[in-house]
Amino acid sequence: MAEPRMSRTQSTDDSSVLVQRTAGLTAVLGAFVMVSTVIFTITDFMGIQNVFVGAAVALLAVFQAYRTNERRSPSIVIAAVVAVLGIWIVAAPFVLGADRALVVGVNGVAGVLIVILSLVGAYGSRQLSTTASASA
C-alpha cells in the first residue's frame, strides 16, 4: 500500500518540476520576443506588438511558475492563453505585413517554441490536478 502513495508523490513532484521548467523557459522566450525589437531593430507596429506580447508571455509564464512553486494548482487556462499568444507571435508578421525575413524567422521560431512549451506545461498542469484529485 505504501508504493502507490510513494508513486503519487513522485508523480506530483515530476509534474510540478515539468510545469516550473516549461514556464521558466517560456518566460525567457517571452522576454526574448520583447527585447528582439531592440536587438533586431524591429520598427513600426510590429516592434510595439512584440514588446507588449513578449511582456505578456513572460509575465504569465512567471506567474504560472510562481503558482506551481507555492504548491497551488497551476492553471491550464494560463497555459492556454500563453499558447494563443505564441500562435499570435507566429502569425503577427504576416498579419501586420512585416516583410523582413529576420522578423518572420525570429517570431516564427520563438512563437512555435512558446506554443510547444505552453502545451507541455498544460499537460503537466493536468497531471498535477489529476494527481491532486486522486489523492483527495
The alpha-helical segments, DSSP class H, found in 1-136 are 2-39, 44-69, 76-95, 101-135
Q: Which three cell numbers stand for residue 100?
A: 523582413
- pLDDT (tens digit per residue) in 10-65: 666 778 888 899 999 999 999 999 999 999 988 899 999 999 999 999 999 999 99
Short-list 124, 129, 116, 125, CA closest to 26: 116
- pLDDT (tens digit per residue) in 65-99: 998 887 777 788 999 999 999 999 999 999 999 98
Each domain of the chain, given as residue ranges in start order, spans 14-130
